[in-house]
Homo-oligomer: A and B are copies of this chain.
Amino acid sequence: MGLVLDEEQTILKDSAKAFFADQAPVTAFRKLRDEKDETGFSRELWRAMAEMGWAGIVIPEAYGGLEYGFQGLALVLEEQGRTLAASPLVSTVLLGAGTLMEAGSEAQKSALLPKIAEGSLLLTVAIDEGHHFNPAQTAFEAKSDSDGFILTGEKTFVLDGHVADKIIVLARTSGNKGDREGLTLFLVEGTAEGLTRERLKMLDSRNAALLMFDQVKVTGDAVIGAIGGGYDALESVLDRAAIGLAAEMLGSASAVFEMTLDYLKERRQFGQLIGSFQSLQHRAADMFTQLELSKSIVMTAATALDESSNEISSLASLAKAFVGETSNKVTREGIQMHGGIGMTDEHDVGLYLKRSRVAEHTFGSAAYHRDRYARLNDY
């Protein structure tokens, strides 16, 4: 998109907006939550999204995708964020397809990417082990044996991990916790023997799972990329994931801002519309400012992905940190400006706040990415 959408991108954005408003409005997500749906998203919705081509939007045409690029994916994610639509777009496409495209062998790509593009395969990547995102701290062990590798340990906060057909696992094949070297990516079946999966009931009622590996055996074919080179491969994938998630958060935060602005124009107190109180006006103007700055960053970062800029990592951290702080602020203000009604479960603004807090921590918090940005830029 560069910094302005071209005509094709405008059409994509408009159709994504209409799609989610129609097929996955906030009420749909609320229903999933209230009915304690075990999958955590609508498979029907995912099929419809795949039909729109979005499951394969970044996948090369050679593997059945649209090869439309990350700017398009960012637009879809932004619109998905606007209605809090739950889908495996982040887990399956950003993480799963992303890893295969980055480091997969020809055989792996041919086998899996077309299925992802057609919406028939759910994939995810299992990274986290502690309270805070920090892939270099991976301790999860893969021991090599005659037939391949044996995986043992726990992975947490695995997005869609309880329903993914296949899981890519970041595991240590050498070195120590803290080393970037010695980490390897393995492709594991969701139904593998020795693997126990438990859906985590998160604040945002979205999808994350705890995966317990008890001597799970995989063959040598299961390795993705180079043995010991998993960190570097994953880092590029995570840059894309951070930018994509920032786009989704921007959409959500924009929605909160819009509903708050509407409320300011409609709610009366002390005989006046509350939006006519200057302190609220200035705070609204400040939110708008943060959102405009965020928008520039997300567009820049998504474009950088398609242009293979050498600034991608920097821009990914910038986007995740900056949009994360914006989202935190906007959701706080959203509730405060709505007053009591915003505190009730039946109002949507609370759903956005909950989603924001989880998204803020996914793939690294703002603090994590500020530190990373400083490192990348030699501060």
Number of copies: 2
Of A14-22, A84-92, A104-112, A277-285, the one touching chain B: A277-285
Residues of the B chain whose Cβ atoms lie less than 8 Å from the Cβ of A282: 279
Chain A interface residue number, banded: under 10
Interface residues of A in 251-301 (CB under 8 A from B): 277-279, 281-282
Which among A277, A279, A281 has the highest number of chain B CB atoms within 10 Å?
Answer: A279
Chain B residues near A279: list those with CB within 8 A: 278-279, 281-282
A277 to chain B: closest residue by CB: B278
Chain A facing B: main interface SS: helix
CA distance A279 to B284 in the complex (A): 12
Measured between beta carbons, the chain B residues less than 8 angstroms from A277 are: 278
Nearest B residue to A283, CB-CB: B279
A282 and chain B: residue at smallest CB distance: B279
| Alpha-carbon distance A282/B277, docked complex (angstroms) | 11
Residues of B within 8 A of A278 (CB): 277-279
Give chain B nearest CB distance to A218 CB in angstroms. 45
The minimal Cβ–Cβ distance linking A262 to chain B, given in whole angstroms, is: 21
In angstroms, Cα B278 to Cα A278, docked, is 5
Q: How far is the CA of A282 from the CA of B278 in the complex (A)?
A: 10
A374, chain B: closest CB distance, angstroms:
17
Give A269 Cβ to nearest chain B Cβ, in Å. 13
Instruction: Give Cα A222–Cα B249 distance, bound, in whole angstroms.
Output: 67
Closest to A276 in B: B278
CA distance A335 to B318 in the complex (A): 32
Which of chain A's residues 279-332 have a Cβ closer than 8 Å to chain B? 279, 281-282
Cα-based distance from A277 to B278 in the complex (angstroms): 7
In the complex, A277 Cα to B282 Cα: how many Å? Answer: 11
CA distance A357 to B300 in the complex (A): 38
Give bound CA distance, A352 to B148, whole Å. 73
4 closest A-B pairs by CB? A278-B278, A279-B282, A278-B279, A279-B279
- What would be 6 A-B contacts, judged by CB atoms less than 8 Å apart? A277-B278, A278-B278, A278-B279, A279-B279, A279-B281, A279-B282
